[in-house]
């Protein structure tokens, strides 16, 4: 039996439009794990073309609560965690394999190229790094939205040079649906509600701050119309968090 060095896993729900691209990009992994959150479309059927290792969890509304289950099913010494709307590029595959072989770190941040409305958001993508590659038992998976993992103490963490693709959303309708869903979850889990920036008067400056940060400081304006819409979406997201905090 082939020794499993690298396990790749994803958490999915109704991702029939994305999952095949994602799973195809994990073809260099020794095993692929899929955790499905009660999909009602063809997601599971497509996943079976790439792996038999399919597990089921309840629908949480977002991926993070099921990541611990996915990681626990991985048998490899190294674990690569992806979202269904992400894709490992060929240069990144080679770099990951080289990093595992050299074994000079315990975990790696991976840069994401963000695609919004089917176009790359260049400037905003520059600082988008996520910790997705790590040795088994070197991080703790948490359920907090957008947090994903917390590295354990005294581990060595580095950054990979190559990027993966993140196809965030392909339409305004899809973006609004995702924003509303995530804002509800963020409102339930936001521990900063009684401190900055979630104080009651924060609604007057927090949404503006995020718009200015993305559109001007991170130079979203260089992406034209898509950059403006992207910044507006974050503005709307921040307002919705307050809406769901105050009105159930």
Tens of pLDDT, residue by residue over 35-59, are 999 999 999 999 999 999 999 999 9
Where does a domain end: 139, 169, 199?
A: 169
Per-residue model confidence (pLDDT) at position 134:
98
Average pLDDT score, the chain: 93
Claim to verify: residue 133 and residue 42 sit in the same structural domain: yes
Structural domain boundaries, residue 188: 172-246
In a domain, 1, yes or no: no
Residue of 80, 105, 104 lying closest to 93 (CA atoms) = 80
* Res 237 pLDDT > 70: yes
90's tokens: 């060929």
144-199: pLDDT as tens digits: 888 899 999 999 999 999 999 999 999 999 999 999 999 999 888 776 555 556 66
Claim to verify: residue 33 and residue 144 sit in the same structural domain: yes
Per-residue model confidence (pLDDT) at position 247:
78
Where does a domain end: 169, 189, 217?
A: 169
Q: How many structural domains compose the chain?
A: 2
In a domain, 145, yes or no: yes
Per-residue model confidence (pLDDT) at position 122:
86
110-156: pLDDT as tens digits: 999 999 999 999 887 778 899 999 999 999 999 988 889 999 999 99
Neighbours of 219 (CB within 10 A): 14
Per-residue model confidence (pLDDT) at position 1:
61
Per-residue model confidence (pLDDT) at position 187:
86
Per-residue model confidence (pLDDT) at position 90:
98
Helix axis angle, 224-246 relative to 172-189, nearest 10°? 40
Per-residue model confidence (pLDDT) at position 192:
58
Q: What is the mean pLDDT of residues 100-106?
A: 97
Question: Who's near 114: CB < 8 A, 6+ residues apart?
Answer: 120, 121, 124, 125, 128, 166, 168
Claim to verify: residue 189 and residue 156 sit in the same structural domain: no
Single pTM value for the model: 0.93
Q: Is 183 helix (H, G, I), strand (E, B) or coil?
A: helix
Claim to verify: residue 122 and residue 233 sit in the same structural domain: no
Flag the least confident range among 153-157, 206-210, 241-245: 241-245
Claim to verify: residue 70 and residue 113 sit in the same structural domain: yes
Where does a domain end: 153, 169, 185?
A: 169
Claim to verify: residue 137 and residue 185 sit in the same structural domain: no
Claim to verify: residue 90 and residue 200 sit in the same structural domain: no
Claim to verify: residue 25 and residue 87 sit in the same structural domain: yes
3-class DSSP string for the chain: CCCCCEEEEEEECCCCCCHHHHHHCCCCCCEEEEEECCCCCCHHHHHCCCCCCEEECCCCCCCHHHHHHHHHHCCCCEEEEEECCEEECHHHHHHHHHHHHHCCCCEEEEEEEEEECCEECHHHHCCCEEEEEEECCCEEECCCCCCCEEECCCCCEEEEEEEEEEEEECCHHHHHHHHHHHHHHHHHHCCCCCCCCCCHHHHHCHHHHHHHHHHHHCCHHHHHHHHHHHHHHHHHHHHHHHHHHHCC
Claim to verify: residue 47 and residue 153 sit in the same structural domain: yes
């Amino acid at each position: 039996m082939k020794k499993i060095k690298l396990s790749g896993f994803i958490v999915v729900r109704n991702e029939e439009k994305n999952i095949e691209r994602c799973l195809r990009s994990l073809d260099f992994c020794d095993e692929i794990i899929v955790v499905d959150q009660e999909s009602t479309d063809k997601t599971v059927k497509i996943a079976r073309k790439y792996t038999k290792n399919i597990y089921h969890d309840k629908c949480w509304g977002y991926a993070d609560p099921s990541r611990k289950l996915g990681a626990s099913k991985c048998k490899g010494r190294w674990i690569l965690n992806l979202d269904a709307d992400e894709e490992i590029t060929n240069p990144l595959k080679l770099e990951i394999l080289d990093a595992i072989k050299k074994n000079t770190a315990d975990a790696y941040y991976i840069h994401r190229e963000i695609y919004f409305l089917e176009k790359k958001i260049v400037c905003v993508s520059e600082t988008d790094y996520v910790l997705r590659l790590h040795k088994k038992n070197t991080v703790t998976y948490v359920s907090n939205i957008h947090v994903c993992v917390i590295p354990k103490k005294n581990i060595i963490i580095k950054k990979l040079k190559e990027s993966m693709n993140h196809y965030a959303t392909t339409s305004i309708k899809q973006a609004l649906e995702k924003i509303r869903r995530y804002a509800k979850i963020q409102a339930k889990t936001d521990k900063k509600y009684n401190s900055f920036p979630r104080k009651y008067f924060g609604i007057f400056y927090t949404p503006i701050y995020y718009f200015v940060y993305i559109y001007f400081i991170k130079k979203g304006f260089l992406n034209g119309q898509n950059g403006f819409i992207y910044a507006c979406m974050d503005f709307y997201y921040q307002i919705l968090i307050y809406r769901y905090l105050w009105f159930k």
